[in-house]
Structures are given as C-alpha cells and as structure tokens.
Structure 1
C-alpha cells in the first residue's frame, strides 16, 4: 500500500455499509482517519456494523439523523447505491463536503497503472474477457470495483506486478476526483438508471468521468458504432482507440468474419465462446485493452474461445432434450435484450421477458421479436408486452413468476430450440435484484434437468 497521509486525523463520514462501506471504513481507520459510519439498518440486523464497532470504529445505526453532519466532518464517502437526493447527501452538499465513493479512496492508496471499464451494457463481460486474456497471458489480473471485491478491500494489497482491472458503474464514477486509469473503456452510453440520475446528461457525465484525469500517455477505448462516442472523442486528452463492427477504424474492428486489430487478423468471430454481435463488440474492446499491454494473439485466441460468459449475462446454462437454456437476467433494459436476441435465429427462440414497468417505449423491441417461436411474459409490464407480442404476430403466454415461466417455455420448445431468459426490464417488482431473479431461473432449469 502506498503511504498516504492525507486521511490522517481527518474526520470522515461513511454513509451506508454493505461490503464496500465496510471495506472503506476499515481502510480509512487504518490510514488514521476519525471515522463515523452511518447505517440505516438497526445494529442487531447488521453484522458489518457490529464488526466495525468491535474494531473500535464509531457506528450510528438504525436511521440517518442529519444533525450528525453538524460535527465538523471534512469528507463524506457514500455507498454508490445511495442517491444524491438522500437527505444526508443533500445536507453534505449544503455544507460543502466533498462526496466520494470508495473507489476514490482506494485509488489514492494505489495510484498506479490500472484498467477501468464502464458502459451501459457489456461492461461486466468486457471486464471478464480482459481478465481471462490477461490470466492466459500470465499477467496476474486482479478484479475490483463493481465486480470481484470492493476497490478499497483489494487495492491496498495489490503489487505493481499485478494488473488491476476495474468494472465501474455510473454510481461509482459520480464520486471520483483524482481517479486515473491508464486504459479506460466506455462500451456505450445509453439511457439507463434515470431513476437515480436526474437526466441522461447527468448519467453521461458520470460515465465520462472515467477519463477526466487521463493524459496523452493514456488510452481511451470507445465504441465507434455510437455517434455519441465519436462526439465525445473530441473532448478527451487521452489517445482514442475505437472499436466497431460496422467499419474499419483506428483500433479493432470486424472484417470478413475476423476480429482485426490495426489491420492484423486476431481470430475468427465464430471462434468466440459466446454468441451475439454485442459479444463481438465486447471482444473487440477487450482486444484493444490487452494489445496496449503487449499480449500476443495466441493468448487472446485461447482465452476468448474458452470464454463461456458471465453469470446472468447471456450465460449458457444447460441443454435438456436438445433445448438450450440461456440466463440473461442482467438484461434490465431493451437494448440488452435486443443484443441477446441478435445471437439467435428467432424462429427457434422462446423468449421469457417482463418485470418492473418503468414506462419504457417497448415498441423499440418490435422488430427484434418478430418471428419468435413464442414469448412467455411475466411481471408488472406483462400487459404491455402481451400487446407488443400481438402486434408482432407472436404467440404469448402469461406466467406468474420465473419458475412457472421456465416450465412453460420448456413445454413450448422442441429439440433445436432456445429458451432465452432476457427480461428487458428491471427485477424489483418481484425480486430483490437481477442476480436473485437469475438464480431463480437457474434453479428452475436445474429442476427440469432432474425431472
């Protein structure tokens, strides 16, 4: 861990626990800060709060009294999931406190070369692809951020021989100042999390913050299929490298079925271990990252051919009686489901979709669902999905929840078909998060396997 004196004696307010809050509180205490943790859960319901108390860290649990902030704090470090309209955050703004996420604290104890990856869709898969290639090349990748372990838990232990790969959400990036990756990827920027961000413009700024400290010695990797990326490329000090499935670019692109880096074929797209055009984009981004680190084509080929996907992101689960099952629970928006469908022949797909109704324009899905074998629909948005299916000329079947939907889809399928669980909507009407929803689907498929 790099010696850091800036936190010694500083009064720091940590808002919210979970894993990242616990990790940053322990790190700040180690760095000599006077830490107060504020957790909404009651003390008896929060093992993390009890642990911190046992370590001698001050914890105020069971609510968020705004008067706590009148104690002369110099910094707030908030859990990324807590929105900026939360009363404690509003009060901190009024007091002029810097408001960071734990990524910023962690970076200051490890200000060395790292890779940062963000985007509305594809960031988890790209992060895992990069890590898989670096592992194959013997580069000792360490995952942190929005995937793996909290940055403030991992980075203090990392050596300069290891390569840090960080997946970063817009929530995390809204709270960074000095954070400075050597290589950054923005897979895409599309309307998302607008219930957290006040506007698309605020969301865009949060994503764009990943490059705010980058210089001409750094590399920013952008999706050239997006007009917005091309516009933003004019607004960075970093060297811009592009990836595209539509044209030759300064970077990596798809040409004659090959993934090509700066004119050199790296591997056939058909060799990728995961289907879909979106995974070709993810692979191109990953190739650009590792090529800046000198990784050879053989390591890239081996890693990407063996790459089987990320849990809940177009994850191939099983084949039962010739029917393949895919878990794409992480598809919480329309674009993600469009990308998932692009990897299959619609006439062989039974799509399970539905969830929280956020009022999205479902008509954007219309061309993508035409020709589907069937749809099984569920959740709050089901009536609107039923109308959409009818407009597309696709038979739809209602289901009360994911287990019933999975069984219904299997009954409709024949050998050679695909059951694709790609909801296109958030999970919160029925499940705690997309992971829980995906686990229910996985359990339902396992039950069918064992029947």
Structure 2
C-alpha cells in the first residue's frame, strides 16, 4: 500500500475494528473521515478531532472522493453506501487488510477460519507456539502492529466478513476447520459464504501449509486441488499421513515421523475441541515447533462450555454457540441429563442431528427470544418444550425445574442481537440470573 500520509480515507463502521483503524490511520498522517449508521451519540470512544460524515452526504451524487475506504466486518457488500462507493471505483478494504499492508517484514502468519471453533483453535495455536492473536478474536490487527517484529508468529482468526474485503491475505499457514451454512443473509447465499472462506487458500504459495479437516468431503475435495503442503486431521479417520486420534491420544504422523499428544478432556471437552486441538497441533508442526507445552495451563475463553455452580446446581454457559451445529456439538460433549436453553436471533439454518441428540440428553428444552417459535417447532414431539420471551424468564424456569443431577445448559443456537449487544453480554447475564434465581430458590426453601 502507498504511504497513507495526506491520503483521504473513509472509515465506515465505528465499532472496535473501525476505531482501531482510525487510530492507526491518524498515526500515519492520513486525513480520516468516519461514518456509522448508528447515531454518533451512541458510539463510545470516537477519537477527538475526527471528521464525521453526515447522513445526508452518503448519497452517491454527494459523496466526496476518497483515496481509500476501510469497512468494518458487519457491513455487507450490498449495503447502499458500499454499493455507491464501489460504483465510484473507490478502493474498499477491511481493517484486517489495512493491518496486513503495514505488517512488519518477516512476521509469520497463521490464518484460522471455518464456521465453528476459530477462537479456541487460534488460542490453542498461540498457546502452543507463543504467537500473538489478532483479528476476529476481538483484537483488531491494526491495534497490535506496534508489538510485532521480524520472526514473530501472528495467529489471525479470520471471519467470512473480513475475508470478503481482504484480497491481500496470503498466510504461511492456513487452517480450515469446518464448514456449515452461516451468515447466508450477509453473503446472499451459502455459495458466496463458502467462496469467502476458501478465498485466501487459493493465493497461498507451494511452500506454505494448509491444515484442514479431512472428515469433511467438501473441504477435502477443495484442498486436494491446492498447491501448498497439506496437513490433514480427522477425529473419525485413521490417516496414513496426518493427525488423528487413538486411545485418548492425538497422533501426529507427518513426513514418516510419529508423535503423540495427550488430549486432556477436562481442559478441552467434546469432539469439537478435539478437532480444534488437532488443527492447532497441525499449525504448530507446520511452523516447525518441536517442544510442545502440555494443556495443564490452557483455559478456554469465557462463554464456551463454561461450567459454574450455585446452590448445588450446575450451569454451563455456552453463549458463544450462535448456530445449530455449535449447539449440537455442545450436546454431543455432555453425557449427563440436562435442561437445554435455546433461542436468540434465528439464522434460518438447519442441523438434522440436533433434534435426535437433544432427545437423548435433555429433559426439556426452554426456548426464548426471537426464534422461540422456530425452536419449539424443531423439538415438538421429541421432548417437552417451554416457551418464553426473554432469556431471564427462561433462566428462572430452568432453575425452578432443575435438580442437583440435572445440568442447565445455555447453548442458544442463534445470535444475541434480538436481546443483547453480543454473546458476551448474553453469557454474563446468564451467569448473573443463574445466581439470582438460585439464591431466591434457596431463600424460599
């Protein structure tokens, strides 16, 4: 990218990544204009002395000339302003692409993508290799550039949103975890979503590495056509050359050598986390890491199968499960009887295995939020379903129904935006209300 000093740059979207981009652009001497579809009074931490584009100036015939447009991840390409900017041939990139263009030379990049498991896998790779995480993990790349230097390992969690506007991403190691229908409204269909996920792998050079889930026929077929060195992993198939599982051990059989790594199920419960671990071990092997730390000191981030207890009741906060496949994987990892809380904002997807798995594990389903009727229809006839408008009401009912041998699992299978700012707020509220209603139940007893 050309020098940014004096260039006129529009930053569209003033969330975490947009504000990070503004700070970087200002430090580089760019002339920055910010814009967001939210009222500016509702947005926190807008840097002082930033020119803000007024709503009446976003029409195509009133738009000024910009040397560059940096767009935040949540804004789709069919947004009216983006379409107007594209018609004027203004370069449009993501905050991630902006960061990549200014990355210090010699930094080794691992890019992790897939529908589910990106954050856990990225954190595992960081844990195993000592690399620094950034990207969709909640840490904008433009905000960490100053802490990176030659030979550092940068682990990027990359979403389909970011990838759409990031044509320059060409990592040393690419990790492809899984693929399920997701964000089809943003991408206008599954094929566009898949195209976005697959995009950067096609740009990778022969000396780079692709770590991929060989259990997925769709992924396996795609990767076999690529040029880079391939490291397959599978939780279902014993691979002749790759990463697989045997007797609670992860077997790394690569280039004629075989190593074993213990899968600690207490630290990483469930088949999905086993696959995340396999992918992380593959990335570490691709980077040439020889000595791997054990998982004793690794902890999953909050809101991912997070266990806690109040008054003898056990709760599991899996608020990060924002699609049906994530909920299926959560149920798959639990053997005990449970009460399942599902709901939120629907993504209009399907997971054929969800109904059967819930029928085996759950005493009942408590549906809440915007998608409550959809959830009720899915499980009707398979097990009892109770319906509530809010998560708070759902938690209160779950506590009323629960016994000490029944866990209460929040694994919504939908986004949080019908009721909460994000999945973290939803998860924190779940924990708050679990304590509140358990305490009230104890006091009444």
**Is TM > 0.5 for Structure 1 vs Structure 2?**
yes
Query: Counterpart in 2 of 1:234?
Result: 224
Distance in 2 of aligned mates of 1:213 and 1:52: 39
Query: Counterpart in 1 of 2:399?
Result: 410
Matches within 5 A, 1:46-65: 46-49=43-46, 51-53=47-49, 57-62=50-55, 65=58
CA contact (8 A) 2:172 2:209 kept: yes
Offset, 1:443: 1.1
Matches within 5 A, 1:162-311: 162-249=152-239, 250-262=241-253, 264-296=258-290, 298-299=292-293, 301=294, 304-311=295-302
Distance in 1 of aligned mates of 2:280 and 2:97: 24
- Can you give the 5+ residue segments of structure 1 that lack an aligned partner in the other structure? none
TM-score scaled by length of structure 2 = 0.89
Query: Counterpart in 1 of 2:23?
Result: 26
Change (3 A) 1:380 1:27: closer
Whether 1:7 aligns to 2:4 is yes
Distance in 2 of aligned mates of 1:420 and 1:306: 25
CA contact (8 A) 1:116 1:181 kept: yes
Distance in 2 of aligned mates of 1:19 and 1:374: 38
Query: Counterpart in 1 of 2:443?
Result: none
Distance in 2 of aligned mates of 1:64 and 1:225: 50
- Can you give the 5+ residue segments of structure 2 that lack an aligned partner in the other structure? 441-445
Distance in 2 of aligned mates of 1:144 and 1:114: 11
Distance in 2 of aligned mates of 1:83 and 1:278: 29
Whether 1:80 aligns to 2:80 is no
Change (3 A) 1:389 1:222: same
Query: Counterpart in 2 of 1:365?
Result: 354
Q: CA RMSD in A?
A: 2.4
Equivalent residue of 1:196, what SS?
Answer: helix
Distance in 2 of aligned mates of 1:214 and 1:100: 19
Distance in 2 of aligned mates of 1:179 and 1:247: 31
TM-score scaled by length of structure 1 = 0.88
CA contact (8 A) 1:40 1:63 kept: no
Change (3 A) 1:286 1:97: same
Query: Counterpart in 1 of 2:435?
Result: 446
Offset, 1:5: 4.2
Structure 1 stretch displaced more, 32-41 or 416-425:
32-41
Query: Counterpart in 2 of 1:17?
Result: 14
CA contact (8 A) 2:396 2:437 kept: yes
Distance in 1 of aligned mates of 2:13 and 2:215: 38
Distance in 1 of aligned mates of 2:306 and 2:61: 45
Distance in 1 of aligned mates of 2:20 and 2:140: 7
Change (3 A) 1:253 1:177: same
Matches within 5 A, 1:274-423: 274-296=268-290, 298-299=292-293, 301=294, 304-316=295-307, 318-345=308-335, 348-361=337-350, 364-371=353-360, 372-392=362-382, 394-423=383-412
Offset, 1:193: 0.5
Aligned residues: 433
